[in-house]
Amino acid sequence: MAIKSKIEWTEITWNPVTGCAKISPACKNCYAEKFACRLQKMGNPRYKKGFSLTLHHDLLEAPLKWKKPRLIFVNSMSDLFHEDVPFDFIKKVFEVMEKASQHTFQILTKRSSRLLEISQSLNWPENVWQGVSIENQDYLYRANNLIQIPAKVRFISFEPLIGPIENIILDKIHWVIVGGESGPGARPLKADWVRSILKYCKNQRTPFFFKQWGGTQKHKNGRMLDNKTWDEYPISI
């Protein structure tokens, strides 16, 4: 089942895996966890176990049925490279993405070490974009793992950005997304943090996408930075 997404940088989501576990500060106010628990209370059969990791084998081939080319965010409700997702299942996801060549698939992970560990055992079709999430300076190492991945498009999502980040090297990165945290308890996003990342992108000619300021009522804060909306994408799109 394709679900139209409100995430600004994609079109639809595909969740052959749901559920996850917190591994870093960015996970504190996880939107996916809150949404999964809400769906569990509503009796949604895919969330009988709430936010516990669940593989949905019956959804694996769903993208093959969607004829219109789309930008597809893979596992918006999980992390494909979670340690409890079997390698064989990950391989099947990649096989489907390769077959569904009319689409562009966007994958994000915080588990860059496992991504790197198994990356050479996967076939990387040109329509698969691989990204990592980085929330502050302590997790910039995820970018170092990412640049070793043989994906045609490699990208970083600095979201939720909860601290300043310096010394960003982007020569092997094709796209950067920045966004603030949203919802109850959202931690503040400082404009100087965003402007600093934008400067790195400009200097290194890396496309920049500013997703949102966030906050408890994100719609009130919008997504303009210095009177401009930043909606840049990798050149290959």
pTM: 0.96
66: which 2 tokens?
A: 């969607």
**What whole-number distance in Å separates Cα of residue 34 and Cα of residue 117?**
30
Q: Which of 130, 131, 12, 108 lies closest to 65, judged by CA?
A: 12
**What whole-number distance in Å separates Cα of residue 55 and Cα of residue 72?**
18
pLDDT of residue 2: 64
pLDDT of residue 105: 98
Q: Which residues contact 53 (CB under 8 A, 6 or more apart)?
A: 17, 18, 19, 20, 21, 78, 82, 84, 85
pLDDT of residue 4: 86
Residue whose tokens read 């094709």: 174
pLDDT of residue 128: 98
- % of residues, the chain, pLDDT over 90: 95
The residues spanned by each domain of the chain are 3-229
Please give the average pLDDT of every successive group of 10 residues along the chain, which has 237 residues.
85 98 98 96 97 98 97 98 98 98 98 98 98 98 98 98 98 98 96 98 98 92 96 84
pLDDT of residue 219: 87
Instruction: Say if CB 81 and CB 111 are below 8 A apart.
Output: yes
DSSP string, 102-135: TSEEEEEES-HHHHHHHHTTS---TTEEEEEE--
pLDDT of residue 237: 59
pLDDT, one tens digit per residue, over 172-218 is 999 999 999 999 999 999 999 999 999 999 999 999 999 999 999 88
